[in-house]
Amino acid sequence: MTTQTTHEKIATGDRKTGRVVGVNGNLASVRFDTTVMQNEVAYVLVGKDRLKGEVIRVRGQEADVQIFEDTRGITVGDAVTFSGELLSVQLGPGLLTRVFDGLQNPLPQLAEVSGFFLQRGLYLEPLDHEHQWPFTPGVEAGHTVRAGDAVGTVPEGPILHRIMVPFGWTGSWQLTWVAPSGYLAVDAPVARASNGREEREITMVQAWPVKIPIAAYRQKLLPTEPLVTQTRAIDTFFPVAKGGTFCIPGPFGAGKTVLQHALSRHSEVDVVIVAACGERAGEVVEILTEFPELEDPRTGRSLIDRTIIICNTSSMPVAARETSIYTSVTLAEYYRQMGLHVLLLADSTSRWAQALREMSGRLEEIPGEEAFPAYLETRIAQFYERSGLVELNDGSVGSVTIGGAVSPAGGNFEEPVTQGTLKVVGGFLGLSRDRANARRYPAIHPLDSWSQYKSVVHHETVGRARDILRQGNEIHQMMKVVGEEGTPVEDFTVYLKSEFLDAVYLQQNSFDDVDAACSAERQSYVFKKVLAVLEREFPFASHAEARTFFMNLRQRFIDWNYTPWGGKAFKEGEKNIDAFLEEKRTA
């Protein structure tokens, strides 16, 4: 690992300099004499520390730089160096299993150097530049390539990592040399290419600006194929598409983090990226401790083997929250370029928006609703638009699916962040405090939530089931006034049907090895059985008879959910249900 902590380690490219002329929190105003770019990386020199920042506004010969560190000790007149490069991340093999902060510093290695408290101004290389990777060439010299084309592969955990032509190269290039099979470091050249005017080297590692989407593909496709999360309430009622977008808003304690853990483990994707962009440290600790211990159902390996964690908690510098969002989506796009399906979970975008609001206030911009910047919706849209299903140059398909958790204060879905998110996403999985308090997991509200994507079962049958839920809710509201005895038996039966659907299908036991994940095939099969019960007429003579019947039927279905799919116990459970229903019909 290499570090940059002193003035002597200023990169040779740091030729442009300036001076601090004002400080407001983590915003520094800098006067310079040459030229400066928007989003350029700058360093404020404080004693022996170099505090990293990003130019976010240029006004004549002054630039506003947001500092990603604690700014105590910065004074007017302190020197500033400009790197001449945009804020970027390193892309290459070795990203999986890693835990980075918002600036792509590897946190475990950072802790080894600085101890329990992260040292200000300390930055480490995100990739191990000494590790030797077994490179296998995929093309030969003389082959014509473009940006994003693979020249070889290395194994990285459960995936085959493509070594690609740098995304910033334009036009066609002809390979003049390709390295033979062997163990190489990420900095070692694996190929050379020429466009007739110059010759360049291709290595395993490349840098890419985080705020510029990677678009080295043939075309973007319309997301149509469902992303199976194995959560029944999502896949059947509020589906997510591969390459689509969705949001999970909900009040504190409604189960956003738990739901994201389930999605990370059971979703049918190749790579999972968890961006803790301002989440509290307690929730992040659960991810760091549990993921290495959990088994990945798809590969049988550790779940962390196909996971990247971007950890920028609420106790870390505020300005880095925004960067953590862009860092995570850039890494997701990188793995999409390999023809892989990536799931990016951002938790919580509300705190990212709060960081934007804080910086906007320091820039003295005209505020929008609730003091958020007027361009909040634009920033939200730019983030979610980087999702998508794409066809690569070789004809393969990759996708980035983005799901953002939103933490509206007081569970108010009318606040600006939630509303700005709802305008751009394709699915709304609204969590309910009442359902969470009633221990109904997942706490997705079945009437308020919606999705624009294709379900794993036919949409018409889902609509009929939601009608039962809607009718049951209306009857339940009426029963609060007139009581159970004042409700007709027919209406009470509809209410019991809605509760039956909720208990046996919408709810799942995440502590049960079988019920925690429900395959698309099983969902389709079980839903038909549940729908048959919902649409069947039951001539009950009394409220007590109806309640007893549905309590017994519900328990049989729940026991059935705990049996392995297609096994002997599953078939016996189904026969038990059929016999119970037949007994009621003949009676």
- 193 domain-assigned: yes
Q: Which residue from 216, 270, 245 is spatially nearest to 390, judged by alpha carbons?
A: 216
pLDDT tens-digit map of 476-494: 999 999 999 899 999 999 9
Residues 372 and 278 in one domain: yes
Q: How far apart, in Å, are the Cα atoms of 489 and each of 160, 492, 545?
A: 60, 5, 10
Residue 15's pLDDT is: 67
Q: Which of 421, 436, 451 is the last residue of a domain?
A: 436
What CATH number did the domain enclosing 15 receive?
2.40.10.170
Domain that holds residue 250: 219-436
Residues 166 and 305 in one domain: no
Residues 399 and 490 in one domain: no
Q: Which letter does DSSP use for residue 504 in this model? A: I
pLDDT tens-digit map of 195-204: 999 999 999 9
pLDDT tens-digit map of 504-518: 999 999 889 999 999
Residues 348 and 464 in one domain: no
- 452 domain-assigned: no
Residues 261 and 407 in one domain: yes
Check whether 60 has a pLDDT greater than 60. Answer: yes
Residues 331 and 244 in one domain: yes
Mean pLDDT, residues 276-283 taken together: 78
Q: Which of 146, 173, 204 is the last residue of a domain?
A: 204
What Rg value do the Cα atoms of the chain yield, rounded? 27
- 518 domain-assigned: yes
> Are the CB atoms for 3 and 50 separated by under 8 Å?
no
Binding residue ranges: 250-257
Counted domains in the chain = 4
- 467 domain-assigned: yes
User: Which of 27-31, 118-122, 360-364, 458-462 comes out lowest in average pLDDT?
Assistant: 118-122
Residue 499's pLDDT is: 97
Distance CA 500, CA 319 (A): 48
Residue 285's pLDDT is: 81
Residue at token pair 């002997």: 568
- DSSP codes, 349-408: HHHHHHHHHHHHHHTTPPB-GGG-BTTHHHHHHHHHTT-EEEE-TTS-EEEEEEEEEE--
Check whether 2 has a pLDDT greater than 70. Answer: no
Check whether 5 has a pLDDT greater than 60. Answer: no
Residues 81 and 158 in one domain: no
Residue 587's pLDDT is: 64
Binding residue ranges for ATP: 250-257
Residues 373 and 484 in one domain: no
Check whether 534 has a pLDDT greater than 90. Answer: yes
User: Which of 11-15, 273-277, 404-408 comes out lowest in average pLDDT?
Assistant: 11-15
> E strands, 102-221, where?
133-137, 144-145, 150-156, 159-164, 173-178, 182-184, 189-194, 199-203, 206-209, 219-221
> Are the CB atoms for 325 and 354 separated by under 8 Å?
no
Distance CA 505, CA 542 (A): 26
Q: What percent of the chain has pLDDT over 90?
A: 82
What CATH number did the domain enclosing 292 receive?
3.40.50.300
User: Which of 208-222, 291-305, 519-533, 540-554 comes out lowest in average pLDDT?
Assistant: 291-305
Residues 511 and 428 in one domain: no
- 449 domain-assigned: no
What CATH number did the domain enclosing 557 receive?
1.10.1140.10
Distance CA 133, CA 127 (A): 12
pLDDT tens-digit map of 200-240: 999 999 999 999 999 999 999 999 999 999 999 999 999 99
Residue 138's pLDDT is: 96
- 421 domain-assigned: yes
Distance CA 108, CA 111 (A): 5
- 209 domain-assigned: no
What CATH number did the domain enclosing 179 receive?
2.40.50.100
pLDDT tens-digit map of 232-264: 999 999 999 999 999 999 998 888 888 998 999
Residue 409's pLDDT is: 84
Check whether 277 has a pLDDT greater than 60. Answer: yes
Residues 429 and 343 in one domain: yes
Residues 528 and 496 in one domain: yes
Phi and psi at 564, nearest 5°, equal -60, 140
Check whether 117 has a pLDDT greater than 80. Answer: no
Q: Which of 22, 50, 85 is the last residue of a domain?
A: 85
Residues 161 and 58 in one domain: no
- 453 domain-assigned: no
Residue 248's pLDDT is: 96
Residue 315's pLDDT is: 72
